[in-house]
Structure 1
């Protein structure tokens, strides 16, 4: 029996396969983040992947909106959520969402239980604007941190 006495609908084969793929991709992101060593500087961890330094830092000595996200993901993947949030709050939130995606998509793939509609029902215009506000606030945090205000 599901919520309200109704039997929950089971995921079809293609939905379960897609869920497995989503879980695999999200788990791969977290696995890569776990392999990386978080930078003590709070940014630059992405350089371990062969990527160039952030152009904003190089050109203007100011972090871009995503500076520190790889480092935050790496801290989170190592289980250090306080360091993750302190490094880049939005990166920490996205790392937690990525972990939740592994669980929800993995659960759907394995059991056929349709958890995803509950979570996708949360998405909409309000969540979009909240996410934009969180990104801007996290960017402000990163700028102040980069300038040594913390």
Structure 2
């Protein structure tokens, strides 16, 4: 299967740089999340990076759709999936997708060809839309509980 993908058309130099930059960005996000201690509240871990608390939470007393995202990543990267899912379902899925995408993007950039699978524009749109729906539904679940 890898051999068949290796016969596909070559990526341009610009595409290789873009893939490498996206892959390295994901790697940096994972490295940063690995070095954070998950906040026991289930959100607020990002404050260890010097960022301000969630304004939505301060104004309403309720979490926003992205509350718990950094906490979820910190849990997932420690192998604690249950806590990650509890903190933020969409962020947990995004973290898992990032863990898969980083090596794929970096290896594709290195080899100059898409390895295993060449994404189409609709694939990215569909994945992003699905993640958005999950984020909204998870946010509603957290607000209503």
Q: What band does the TM-score fall into relative to the shorter chain? A: 0.7 to 0.9
Greater relative contact order: 1 or 2 (C-alpha under 8 angstroms, separation 6 or more)? Answer: 2
Aligned alpha-carbon RMSD (Å): 2.2
Partner residue in 1 for 2:96: 96
Number of residue pairs matched? 142
Find the aligned partners of 1:116 and 1:142 in 2 and give their Cα distance: 37
Secondary structure of 1:118 counterpart: coil
TM-score, with structure 1 as normaliser: 0.82
**Inter-partner Cα distance in structure 1 for 2:74 and 2:54:** 17
1: CA distance, partners of 2:58 / 2:108: 44
* Structure 1 runs not aligned, ≥5 long: none
Which structure 2 residue ranges, 5 or more long, are not aligned?
A: none
Matches within 5 A, 1:1-150: 1-2=3-4, 7-115=7-115, 118-121=118-121, 122-124=123-125, 126-144=126-144, 149=145
Runs of 4 or more above 4 Å deviation: none
TM-score, with structure 2 as normaliser: 0.85
Larger displacement relative to structure 2 (22-31 or 94-103): 94-103
